[in-house]
Structure 1
């Protein structure tokens, strides 16, 4: 882990740095789903959703890495113990920002992507929205965030970490492989990466 770094729960006030990181973690997909090709529209929604707190893009289900007091990295996770209102909060953030008619179109576009993204199994923790600011890369911030999630997954008795990565993102795939992830399932657009966790039993 880099010098003077901590990993903590994200806060609403982190949005000015965290939301651009979130957007960069899945720029193509987020632009297509929420902006219909316009990155500014997608970014505006993400900031609105972040500030609401709950749901997939809210600050409550994100963690940040600080390096020398500044937010330098971001990560989120999905598992079977998310709040019961998690999906409802996500939908609410879309409807509130775009209105009901546009929200229906966005949900339909989102479903097309969900059809090719592998969801985590009951025994797995899915991680996502992993991004590191340019000036903090190659210092261990990304790997520290993943190790932090591994600790959480072990505490929840999960047996693997999984994530989805665009096939075209060769740099990210190589990064995850260096951290012990292997390619698990793949289609034309995405590959699911997996790293087994060995849970100690007493």
Structure 2
């Protein structure tokens, strides 16, 4: 039974780092592993412990079931800390060294060119993953609903997420949750769900 969704902590890394990797194995292996999945996972473990940035614990939330972490999610929006990108870049330089870091950043930029970012009035979600034993138990749905409420509190009018075009299981799940195709290219489909304001917001 799902007990709560809470902010992630540094000591969740033993579960959350594998979930982070599962959320985008192909992309993460190519960009951060330079073709080696173990290197990608080692970087994610390092970045998680930095706290801030794209892969740090500070901008992640976990689902907890019977005291155990069972799911993970993150989000991007206009209210992120000013140093968010700087901390992300610093974690890359610190882990790889400056020469290899340049290769990683270049590979990352190639992907960013085809992954649609959220617009100002949208909130992007990502790094969505659930442990094998908790799948089809409502954990993923609860994480998405939590983020939709967060988007409403930030006065965003939609939640968007990017999914690889051949990840048919994930696409079916998002469609079931009320998400529709928004923008499409040959690698990713951006899904969108409108977030109506509460009546009390008027």
Q: State TM-score, norm by structure 1.
A: 0.98
Cα separation, 2, equivalents of 1:80 and 1:100: 29
- Kept in 1: contact 2:2–2:139 (CA 8 A): no
Residue 46 (structure 1) aligns with: 44
Cα separation, 2, equivalents of 1:83 and 1:46: 20
The question of 1:132 aligning with 2:159 is answered no
Residue 110 (structure 1) aligns with: 108
State the secondary structure of the residue aligned to 2:32.
helix
Cα separation, 2, equivalents of 1:148 and 1:198: 15
State the secondary structure of the residue aligned to 2:141.
helix
Residue 18 (structure 2) aligns with: 20
**Structure 1 alignment gaps of length 5 or more:** none
Cα separation, 2, equivalents of 1:175 and 1:127: 15
State the secondary structure of the residue aligned to 2:45.
helix
State the secondary structure of the residue aligned to 2:90.
helix
Note the C-alpha offset of 1:20: 0.2
Residue 66 (structure 2) aligns with: 68
The question of 1:142 aligning with 2:136 is answered no
RMSD (Å) for aligned C-alpha atoms: 0.6
Cα separation, 2, equivalents of 1:22 and 1:162: 18
Cα separation, 1, equivalents of 2:69 and 2:107: 31
Residue 8 (structure 1) aligns with: 6
Note the C-alpha offset of 1:4: 4.4
Residue 152 (structure 1) aligns with: 150
State the secondary structure of the residue aligned to 2:86.
helix
Note the C-alpha offset of 1:36: 1.4
Cα separation, 1, equivalents of 2:197 and 2:121: 12
Residue 179 (structure 1) aligns with: 177
Q: State TM-score, norm by structure 2.
A: 0.98
Write out per-residue CA displacement over residues 163-198 of structure 1, whole angstroms, 9 at most, x where no aligned residue: 000001000000000000000110000000000011
Cα separation, 1, equivalents of 2:197 and 2:97: 45
- Kept in 1: contact 2:77–2:118 (CA 8 A): yes
State the secondary structure of the residue aligned to 1:35.
coil
Cα separation, 1, equivalents of 2:96 and 2:35: 15
Cα separation, 2, equivalents of 1:33 and 1:181: 28
Residue 122 (structure 1) aligns with: 120
Note the C-alpha offset of 1:37: 1.3
Cα separation, 1, equivalents of 2:85 and 2:122: 19
Note the C-alpha offset of 1:5: 1.7
Write out per-residue CA displacement over residues 72-127 of structure 1, whole angstroms, 9 at most, x where no aligned residue: 00000000010000000000000000000100110000000000000000000000
